[in-house]
Amino acid sequence: MSFKNLICLFFIVLVSGSAMAAFSTAAGYDSTALYTGSGMSPIIGGLDHDNGNLYFGQGTDLMSLDLSDNSLQPSGILSGAVTNSLVARYNGTTYTSYATTYDEPYPYKMGYIDGSGNYQNQWNQDGIYDIAISPTGTGYIAANPAFGGSKIFEYDLSTGYATEVASIGGYAGGITFDSAGNLYYASQTGSGILKFSVDGFGVLDMSTYDIVLDIAAGYIGFDDDGNFYATTDWGGTFSVFDLNLGTKITDIAFGGIGQFVIDDESIYLLDTDWGLWATTVYEVTAVPEPATIILLGLGGVALLKRRGQS
């Protein structure tokens, strides 16, 4: 299947399948809408969290949303952007990739926002999809070059120099690191979740991989406890998985879900309603079970009694 036909199939799925469903959360989870795109560019792309703020792209603007008061501020300007594929923060700098046209071969620019809020281009590559930044500051980019099958590039954040380190084929999804420095890559066309492991010297080996989960997924990530999260069904379902058992733990949300980030007890995600042609930023949290609420209530009563006796 050609890259162009695959993109056409993707949009057919969006308008006819589960990705057209209104956003909802599964039992045990609740959501709060933080911001909805509007104006000439209501579709949001790219998402990261840093120092109490969410960063994302909306048309030619990069925005930051202060989670303490939901105030929105511009954080950068992109020239001629029509779609943002990624936004990533590292050491206080915002890195981003965007395309200036929807036309094949879907050319993307990759660079950073300087101290004046202006975009500085470092690299041009067709089909950039997602980035993972290692603890030492090396970027790994999943991309879909036109007709070339998906590839992973090692990307130097300071110079913009990129080197192809893996050729996977199919259509790339997200890419992320775990706490041990292993790199995970998702295929949206059925190859599964691939794990590139660090060797005994802590060096990432990109020459071989293991398939650790047999799902077709879009964006992926870990929480601090090592649980693995992924969007499946072309964004229609967002779930958490146990990689040790290779099984799903539970579904979390449904809709047209794109990028997400996890911070402490909250999940922040993008959901695009393609019928309304707008993206909303949601905060999703787990709802305590009734038994837990009762225990918390009893604990509060006991604390009040102790205070009354003191």
Q: How far is CA 214 from CA 70, 171, 252, in A?
A: 38, 15, 19
Alpha-carbon distance of 113 to 94, in angstroms, equals 6
Alpha-carbon distance of 130 to 142, in angstroms, equals 5
Alpha-carbon distance of 299 to 65, in angstroms, equals 35
Contact 173, 220 (CB under 8 A): yes
pLDDT band at 57 (very low <50, low <70, confident <90, very high): very high
Tell me what the mean pLDDT of segment 269-298 comes to: 80
Please write the tens of the pLDDT for every residue from 207-236. 999 999 999 999 999 999 999 999 999 999
The number of angstroms, rounded, from the C-alpha of 305 to the middle of its chain's C-alpha atoms is 46
In this prediction, residue 14 carries a pLDDT of: 38
Residue spans of the domains in the chain: they are 3-309
Reading the block at residue 44, the tokens are 């949001």
pLDDT above 90 for 3:
no
Reading the block at residue 136, the tokens are 């030492």
Contact 22, 236 (CB under 8 A): no
Homologous superfamily of domain range 3-309: TolB, C-terminal domain (2.120.10.30)
In this prediction, residue 20 carries a pLDDT of: 59
What's the one-letter identity of residue 39? G
What's the one-letter identity of residue 22? A
Contact 239, 229 (CB under 8 A): yes
In this prediction, residue 291 carries a pLDDT of: 52
Mean of the per-residue pLDDT values for the chain?
87
Contact 77, 298 (CB under 8 A): no
Contact 173, 130 (CB under 8 A): yes
In this prediction, residue 38 carries a pLDDT of: 86
Tell me what the mean pLDDT of segment 139-160 comes to: 92
pLDDT above 50 for 10:
no
Alpha-carbon distance of 173 to 171, in angstroms, equals 7
pLDDT band at 80 (very low <50, low <70, confident <90, very high): confident
pLDDT above 60 for 8:
no
pLDDT above 60 for 306:
no
Phi/psi of residue 17, each to 5°? Answer: -115, -155
Q: Is 13 exposed, middle or buried (0-12, 13-18, 19+ CB in 10 A)?
A: middle
In order, the DSSP letters of 85-131 are EEEEEETTEEEEEEES-SSTT-EEEEEEE-TTSBEEEEEEEETEEEE
pLDDT above 50 for 41:
yes
- Helices and strands of the chain, counted as H and E runs: 2, 25
pLDDT band at 290 (very low <50, low <70, confident <90, very high): low
In this prediction, residue 46 carries a pLDDT of: 97
